[in-house]
Structure 1
Amino acid sequence: MRMLTAAVFALAGLIFFTSFDTAKGTDIRQDGSLLKLSDLIQQRSRKNKDLDESNASLRDGVESLAKSDGGSSKAQDRRLTGLEKSAGTQKLTGKAVTVTLNDAPPNATAKLPGYPPPQPDYLVIHQQDLQAVVNALWQGGAKGIKVMDQRLISTSAVRCVGNTLILQGRVYSPPYKITAIGDPGRLQQSLADSKAIQTYMVYVNVYGLGWKVTDDGTVTLPGYSGTVDLHYAKPVQ
């Protein structure tokens, strides 16, 4: 018994010493030098935003030099402009509709009888909700779509981690705004016809998830300013 007691005290002493050596006299729970993962993500998001803006500026410079070079015909210039519009790298102006999604209040309860009390997952926007809106807008004939402040292109992927959106290397929190240029009537009808959005609307009516559709009149979407290089997996040699 004495040996067991001595071993326990020895182990406790080792734990205390290790904790002290790690903390170096600081409160390791409150140490601001330990960068949180969320802080790192926000930092990378801001850096990616700056790089996108720098890339867009350089692209504009290259395009200006190419146009002043005079080495292409007017027909080739028109074809290039058409391809750029289709790729989403140029600004797009037209009538637009904006959909806004938002989390429910944290103290939300079931508003209608017969429904269970809300679980945490019931009260936040999920990746599938954002994807449902984007897909419905494309199906409704959208000529261009902007999510938050970024233009979508063919390689764009709408992904969520927890209750945050990660889009093209940048991080966003709700409320989420999705703006599409096209025929407003067709766009809104496509939203209403979507089975996935109809399911989402149940949570809107029962638990208070945010849903708002507005007719914005004429707006201008920005061109995509990020890299257009395709990245793919390679076998390890």
Structure 2
Amino acid sequence: MLYGIEPVIGPGVIVKLDDAKKSNYESDFDLWNSIVHDFDIRQIIIDLKNADAEAIEVNGYRVVSTTSITCEGPIIMINGNYITPPFTIKAIGDKDALYYAMYNPDSWYKTMELRGLRLSLKRSDNISVSGINDGIEIKYLKPKK
């Protein structure tokens, strides 16, 4: 579980992030502020990890120590896979601590709320987070004698 290879089921939170719903922007800054960026997702993950999340997934992709989340123009890439809004982040751990980490006045979630992004946060007793190798057969090599 610590390496993210196996799927995990347990209590936690589900965070949904989506771009703001606004049709006319007064400036490029307004437009920039109204979309979910790669750094938003990374910062939410940091806040969840700081609250002792045991397993995290973004849009079906497991987050581990080597996970890469980058901006690729109008979309985001996670470990070489394109993902688009809405973004669903699942985190397993103490659901009350994770929930509080998002609603803490100093959290990035609250900063995103101030930008007018569409967000939701839900506690759950039964969240399923995929393993990093779901659907991939792992073959172990036997050492030569």
Of 36, 39, 57, which aligns to 1:128? 39
Letter in 2 for 1:125: V
The root-mean-square deviation of aligned C-alpha atoms, in Å, is: 2.3
The number of aligned residues is 134
Q: Tell me which residue corresponds to 1:203.
A: 115
Structure with higher RCO (Cα < 8 A, 6+ apart): 2
Q: Tell me which residue corresponds to 1:155.
A: 66
Higher helix share: 1
Of 76, 80, 105, which aligns to 2:21? 105
Of 67, 71, 91, which aligns to 1:180? 91
Q: 1:165 to 1:86 in 2, by over 3 A?
A: same
Letter in 2 for 1:200: M
Aligned pairs (5 A) from 1:1-237? 85-107=1-23, 119-193=30-104, 194-204=106-116, 209-225=117-133
Q: Tell me which residue corresponds to 1:39.
A: none
Q: Deviations over 1:118-164 (max 9, x none)?
A: 62102211122111111111111111001001111110122122331
CA positional deviation for 1:117: 9.6
Asked if 2 retains the 8 angstrom alpha-carbon contact of 1:108 and 1:118, the reply is no
CA positional deviation for 1:183: 0.9
Asked if 1 retains the 8 angstrom alpha-carbon contact of 2:99 and 2:123, the reply is no
Q: 1:217 to 1:163 in 2, by over 3 A?
A: farther
CA positional deviation for 1:219: 2.1
Q: Secondary structure at the match of 2:11?
A: strand
Higher strand share: 2
Asked if 2 retains the 8 angstrom alpha-carbon contact of 1:97 and 1:184, the reply is yes
Q: Tell me the TM-score normalised to structure 1 length.
A: 0.52
Q: Tell me the TM-score normalised to structure 2 length.
A: 0.82
Identity of aligned residues (%): 22
Asked if 2 retains the 8 angstrom alpha-carbon contact of 1:101 and 1:210, the reply is yes
Q: Return 5+ residue gaps in structure 1 as ranges.
A: 1-84, 111-115, 228-237
